[in-house]
Amino acid sequence: MSNLFDLTGKTALVTGGAQGLGRMIAEGLLGAGASVAITSRKADICEAAAAEMSSLGTCIPLPCDLSSPEAAVELAQRVREAFDGKLNVIVNNAGKTWGGPIDSYPDKAWPGVMIVNVQAPFTLIRELLPELEAAGSSEDPSRILNIGSIAGKTTAKLSAYSYSASKAAIHMLSRDLAGDLVGRNINVNAVLPGFFPTKMTAHMRDEEAVDPALLGKIPMARMGRADEIAGTIVYLSSRAGAYVTGAEIPVDGGIIGCD
């Protein structure tokens, strides 16, 4: 049991890993022993975050704006070079949202959200399949973890129509990929976070005080903690999660399961 969650010697890519949920995830993987590459749209933020997290282990900044499939192809090449062709884990976490009332919800709210949240993850996976397949085995598969959302599973009333549709899409894409890649020793799962203290929920909080109306929607009556999302990702990336594929795992304080 002592090494059940050990990721020593593993390599992982976390898109959007410089801030928010992505940083929580990256720190968790580093703490478990993995070498981690992170992306962020802004180079200065990406490099500063990697420098700070390097106290936990090898953390490589790969600034990248994943708003086009071409950018995902370029990122895949940089990942190959950074890890000398070895890759055990991809966490597709980078995301984009757009909220607004339905009567004025613009058409321009759709393409960018769908590219970042669905197409770019697919392109990145496709491009890195050789590395993932080479790193995986029947005893220890490679892992693809797509960060979805409770918004793609239940009606969250966020008025973020393209976002919720994109998250439902990445959940289904994860299941499709899991079935197609299981014979190639690659596990694919979707993780569905609920409400965590990130920029995306800043309008629902005032420092540590959380909107009571929001807490009323969460059976556990609190936001998630960094170690709770990180622990789920480490579990799915480690020997402990080797027999799990094609799953949608909520990390949401009971919003989905207790509904």
Residue 189 lies in a domain: yes
User: What is the Cα 7 distance to its own chain's centre?
Assistant: 17
Whole-prediction pTM:
0.95
Contact present, 171 and 119 (Cβ < 8 Å): no
- Is residue 44 in a domain? yes
pLDDT digits (tens, 9 = 90+) for 126-157: 999 999 999 999 999 999 999 999 999 999 78
| Close Cβ partners of 149 (under 8 Å, ≥ 6 residues apart) | 163, 164, 167, 192, 193
**pLDDT computed for residue 242 by the predictor:** 98
Q: Are 145 and 89 in contact (CB under 8 A)?
A: yes
pLDDT at 213: 85
- Residue-wise pLDDT tens digits, 201-217: 555 545 567 888 889 99
Packing angle of the helix pair 69-82, 120-135 (nearest 10 deg)? 30
Asked if residue 4 has pLDDT above 70, the reply is: yes
235 is known as an active-site residue: no
In a domain, 4, yes or no: no
Q: Is pLDDT at 63 greater than 60 in this prediction?
A: yes
Q: Is residue 246 part of a domain?
A: yes
What CATH number is associated with residue 148? 3.40.50.720
Summarize pLDDT for 67-118 with one digit per residue, the tens: 999 999 999 999 999 999 999 999 999 999 999 999 999 999 999 999 999 9
**Any domain includes 151:** yes
Tell me how far apart the alpha carbons of residues 23 and 45 are, in angstroms, rounded to a whole number.
11
Query: Does residue 257 lie within any of the structural domains?
Result: no
Assess if residue 256 is contained within a domain.
Answer: no
> DSSP state, 115?
I
**pLDDT at residue 202, rounded to an integer:** 52
Structural domain tally of the chain?
1
Using one digit for the tens of pLDDT, what is the confidence trace for 153-189? 999 788 999 999 999 999 999 999 999 999 999 999 9
| Residue 103, pLDDT score | 97
In the beta sheet, which residues pair with residue 146? 92, 190
Distance, CA of 108 to CA of 100 (rounded, Å): 12
**Given the residues 161, 163, 235, 243, the one annotated as active site:** 163
Average pLDDT, the chain: 95
Question: Which residues have C-beta within 8 Å of that of residue 207, sequence separation ≥ 6?
Answer: none
Q: What separation in angstroms does the CA of 247 have from each of 39, 112, 148?
A: 25, 26, 12
Q: Is 208 helix (H, G, I), strand (E, B) or coil?
A: coil
Domain that holds residue 60: 11-251
Residue 3 is assigned to a structural domain of this protein: no
